[in-house]
Amino acid sequence: MKGQTRATFEGKLNRAGIVTPVEVRYLADESGFEFLFRPQQERSALQDRFPAPSPGILSEIRLLARSGSARFVVTSDPTELGHDILPHLPHLLLDPSWRSIYINAQDQDAAEEAFSMKMPTDPEQWASELETLRAFHFDVVTVDLTGN
């Protein structure tokens, strides 16, 4: 990478003997460098399960999200589909480099393929939990709180 400020290449990530194909994005400047690893199998599997909307709608969603003030309300019929797709919407609709978290109620399963967190059963504790997460500066937060 010497002398390069940007690069994208394919690689394999080996973690505890589990090998995952990844796309690697490299970025450097005078303050240091950063690598972004994006799993390849997960993204294609998600796209197979949940096809993306048309390119025009996708472009509009990305434009609204980049504005920094977008808020989307997702409903589905049947309801279970919403629980299945909500954790994956950031990866399906936005640039995969956006950092996202899926927050859900205690009585729901956490998302298997998305970074997720279950809220405590006592809603009085939700504010302190969310305040703790604020320090991580997530780009996208999807929230699925049954009954609210």
Same domain, 66 and 132: yes
Between CA 116 and CA 142 the distance in angstroms is 9
Residue 45, SS3 per DSSP:
helix
Same domain, 20 and 54: no
Same domain, 126 and 70: yes
Look at residue 31 in the predicted model and tell me its pLDDT.
83
Same domain, 57 and 81: yes
Same domain, 55 and 97: yes
Residues forming beta bridges with residue 102, ordered by sequence position: 116, 142
End-to-end CA distance of the chain: 49
User: How many domains does the chain divide into?
Assistant: 2
Residue 50, SS3 per DSSP:
coil
Q: How is 31-78 classified by DSSP, letter by letter?
A: TEEEEEEEEHHHHHHHHHHS----HHHHHHHHHHHHTT--------SS
Long-range contacts of residues 122-130, Cβ cutoff 8 Å, at least 24 apart = 130/103
Print the domain residue range for 113. 50-144
Look at residue 148 in the predicted model and tell me its pLDDT.
47
Same domain, 17 and 62: no
Same domain, 21 and 59: no
Beta strands 18-29; 6-15: pairing state: antiparallel
pLDDT tens for each residue of 81-122: 777 888 888 888 887 678 888 888 766 666 666 788 888 888
Same domain, 37 and 55: no
What does the angle CA 28 – CA 32 – CA 34 come to, to the nearest 5 degrees?
Answer: 60
Q: In Å, how far from its chain's centre is CA 3?
A: 31
Q: Are 111 and 102 in contact (CB under 8 A)?
A: yes
Look at residue 95 in the predicted model and tell me its pLDDT.
76
Same domain, 139 and 70: yes
Beta strands 100-104; 116-118: pairing state: parallel
Same domain, 68 and 12: no
pTM of the shown model: 0.61
Write out residues in the chain with pLDDT < 50, as ranges.
148
Same domain, 62 and 135: yes
Same domain, 68 and 140: yes
